[in-house]
Amino acid sequence: MAKAVCLLSGGLDSATCGAVARRDGFEVYALSFDYGQRHRIELQAAARVAQALGVAAHRTATIDLRGFGHSALTDDIAVPHNQLSSTGIPITYVPARNTIFLSFALAWAEVLESSDIFIGVNALDYSGYPDCRPEFIEAFERMANLATKAGVEGRTRIRIHTPLLRLTKADIVRLGSELNLPFELTHSCYDPSPEGRPCNECDSCLLRAKGFREAGIIDPVADHAHL
Amino acid sequence: MAKAVCLLSGGLDSATCGAVARRDGFEVYALSFDYGQRHRIELQAAARVAQALGVAAHRTATIDLRGFGHSALTDDIAVPHNQLSSTGIPITYVPARNTIFLSFALAWAEVLESSDIFIGVNALDYSGYPDCRPEFIEAFERMANLATKAGVEGRTRIRIHTPLLRLTKADIVRLGSELNLPFELTHSCYDPSPEGRPCNECDSCLLRAKGFREAGIIDPVADHAHL
């Protein structure tokens, strides 16, 4: 069975992406990151989702992005609530995050002799992050094929799979549902309570709620009284 | 003064590269990595060199590449001695190392609002690593400009500077000498003694010795009785 490295945050998108990799016949090597995020509770979700997906291995790499600062996801900057309509690149953007995450995935893929990397980025109902756009992914793939031993020796061609790239959040919910993804194991909130309950007000909660609503599916995680 | 992020390993090449950045008028932000390398003594060299260069800041990011294994620089695989003439990609190659290092540099540059990154890669007297080649650097630069807020908003263009790319090791020694680089502070050996003395037998020691010899300059670090 071909091996694939899948970035797995524990959120709805990456979990659906992992389920697609399984559906497509890959043996999944799930990779999560402890990067000092406020919402570290998502790492527990990632472990639960990895187990539910039946991955071959799940690894959490600890990286030190807090030293570089400047994001509401890692710093002592408040996560904005109820601001889904704001324009521009949001304060929750973490500098070069997907570049760093994909670089680690590339390292692991090289060691596993895998040529397939899955990432659940989305260019439609996304949050305005530059490193979620198709042109970024294409440029990363091109670079990756020049960076690696396998690429240089012409043994393989690295592919960055982005099965969610052109889906709406509702499409993602429908796809996850078709693949029997246990939504109750996922965690999307950027600003959860100490017990891990979603705030239902941050960008990520609002996008998730919109997706479930439009798909006509009940989100087992959301606080429906609140929404 | 324009800010530049410089990758600084503590070796001869990165130290010379940092000296070039200073010569070219940049305020230098030096970035080192603790990636579980055997030759961790180089981190002390990096701190000494950073101080000698008068950098604005020096940061060491801890990253976890050992979990991905498969390199003589991070694993319990013996570093080859006296094998400079061997062909192909050597066992000291660390998967996706420069991709990961440059990704962190990109994150820091973005936070500093710097558009300049320096890396001391070398395509001539190099060790056969794929991620030291000009085509890799060009592809990374292209990707970086699509990955970042500044790139997307058209505010700046990220440049990856590689002043050593087409120099021989002897040219690098001459350049370092012209810039009054204190060679005695640098460390190049992949397999030093517990006290930090170079082995004088690994790829990195042999390349360094060849460079100094051809430049007609005495290396204050090498064990000349041995060579």
Cβ atoms of residues A226 and A199 within 8 Å = no
Q: CA-based Rg of chain B, rounded to a whole angstrom?
A: 17
The pLDDT of residue B84 is: 47
Reduce the DSSP state of residue A74 to 3 states and report it.
coil
| pLDDT for the residue numbered A85 | 43
Mutate which of A103, A115, A126, A135 to test chain B, going by most B C-beta atoms within 10 A? A103
Overall average pLDDT of the A25-48 stretch: 87
Number of residues in chain B: 227
State the average pLDDT over residues A19-33: 96
pLDDT at A110 (0 to 100): 87
- How would you label A173-195 residue by residue, b for 16+ Cβ within 10 Å and e otherwise? bbbbeeeebebebbbbbbbbeee
Kindly report the average pLDDT of chain A as a whole number.
Answer: 84
Summary mean pLDDT of chain B: 84
CB distance A133 to A123 below 8 Å: yes
Q: Is B153 exposed, middle or buried (0-12, 13-18, 19+ CB in 10 A)?
A: exposed
Which token pair is A194? 């100490």
Which residue's entry shows tokens 């990253």?
B63
Instruction: Report the C-alpha gap between A97 and A195 in whole angstroms.
Output: 26
Binary contact (A143, B152; C-beta < 8 A): no
Percent of chain B with pLDDT over 70: 79
Which domains are delineated in chain B? 3-215 (3.40.50.620)
Order of all β-strands in the sheet with A116-118: A57-62, A27-34, A3-7, A116-118, A159-161
Under DSSP, is residue B33 helix (H, G, I), strand (E, B) or coil?
strand
The mean pLDDT value for A5-31 works out to 96
- Do the beta carbons of residue B11 and residue B188 sit within 8 Å? yes
Look at B89 and A149 and tell me if their CB atoms are within 8 Å: yes
Q: Are A123 and A165 in contact (CB under 8 A)?
A: yes
Check residue A180 and give left, alpha or beta (phi > 0: left; psi -120 to 50: alpha).
Answer: left
By Cβ distance, the residue of A108, A142, A149 closest to B68 is: A108
Sorting pLDDT into bands at 50, 70 and 90, what band is B199? confident
Among A28-37, A119-128, A152-161, top mean pLDDT goes to A28-37
- Considering only CB atoms, which chain B residues are within 8 Å of A89? 149, 152-153
Task: Find residue A88's DSSP bridge partners.
Answer: none
Nearest to B148 by CA among B101, B100, B115, B99: B115
CA torsion through residues A10, A12, A18, A19, sign: positive
Q: Does B67 touch chain A (CB under 8 A)?
A: yes
% chain A with pLDDT above 70: 79
pTM of the predicted structure, to 2 decimals: 0.87
Residue B70 scores a pLDDT above 90: no
Cβ partners under 8 Å of residue B146, min gap 6 = A130, A131, A133, A135, A136, A139, B152
Q: What is d(CA A96, CA A129) in angstroms, rounded to the nearest whole number?
A: 10
**How many other CB atoms sit within 10 Å of the CB of residue A22?**
18
Rg of chain A over Cα atoms, rounded to whole angstroms, equals: 17
Backbone torsion region of residue B127, taken as left when φ is above 0, otherwise alpha when ψ lies between -120 and 50, otherwise beta: alpha
* Percentage of chain B modeled with pLDDT above 90: 52
Residue B56 pLDDT more than 80?
yes
- Euclidean distance between CA atoms B35 and B12, whole angstroms: 19
Beta strand ranges found along chain B (DSSP E): 3-7, 27-34, 57-62, 116-118, 159-161
> Which residue from B131, B223, B211, B129 is spatially nearest to B175, judged by alpha carbons?
B211
pLDDT of B191 above 50? yes
Task: Tell me: pLDDT of A84 over 50.
Answer: no
Q: What is the nearest CA distance from A136 to chain B, expressed in angstroms?
A: 5
Q: Name the minimum distance, in Å, from the CA of A161 to any CA of chain B.
A: 17
Q: Which of B89, B100, B127, B129 to mutate to test the interface with A (most CBs of A within 10 A)?
A: B100
- Spell out a b/e string for B171-210, using b for 16 or more CB atoms within 10 Å of the CB, else e: bbbbbbeeeebebebbbbbbbbeeeeebbbbbbbbbbbbb
A159 φ/ψ angles, rounded to the nearest 5 degrees: -120, 130
Q: Is A211 on the interface with B (CB under 8 A)?
A: no
Using a CB–CB cutoff of 8 Å, tell me whether A57 touches chain B: no
Please tell me which residue of chain B has the smallest CA distance to A59.
Answer: B67
B157 touching A (Cβ < 8 Å): no
- Which of chain B's residues have a Cβ under 8 Å away from the Cβ of A140? 143, 147
Q: What is the pLDDT of residue B79?
A: 54
Question: What is the per-residue pLDDT for B61?
Answer: 85
